Amino acid sequence: MIIAKRHEDDEYGIVLMNDIAKKVLAMDRSPERTNVYEIMTKPALSVSETMDVRYCARLFERFGISRAPVLHDGEVIGMVSYNNIVLNGMLREE
């Protein structure tokens, strides 16, 4: 889930399933009482829509992430994951 910017100078946040598993369930916290702002990662590491898949894969490896928002003109237009990177990279080789 992408958490929207609150104002122009703010950054996007992100909450993934593993955030919920590690920061809520594993810590025996009540999901109903946990606010996304308590468990999100902010700023979210994002990629440009024009980034080459090889560089995207390297970025994921370097920062230990598995998915990231894709931005166009500063706005989120989608998400990219390792699955997308592998499929796109393999299609480009054919």
- Give dist(CA 32, CA 46) in Å, integer: 28
Query: Which positions of the chain have pLDDT values less than 70?
Result: 90-94
Class of domain 45-94: alpha beta
Token look-up 């980034």 returns 51
What is the structure's pLDDT at 85? 84
Q: Domain residue spans in the chain?
A: 1-44, 45-94
What is the structure's pLDDT at 88? 76
- pLDDT tens per residue, range 62-82: 999 999 999 999 999 999 998
Name 23's Cβ contacts closer than 8 Å, sequence gap at least 6.
Answer: 29, 34, 38, 39
What is the structure's pLDDT at 91? 63
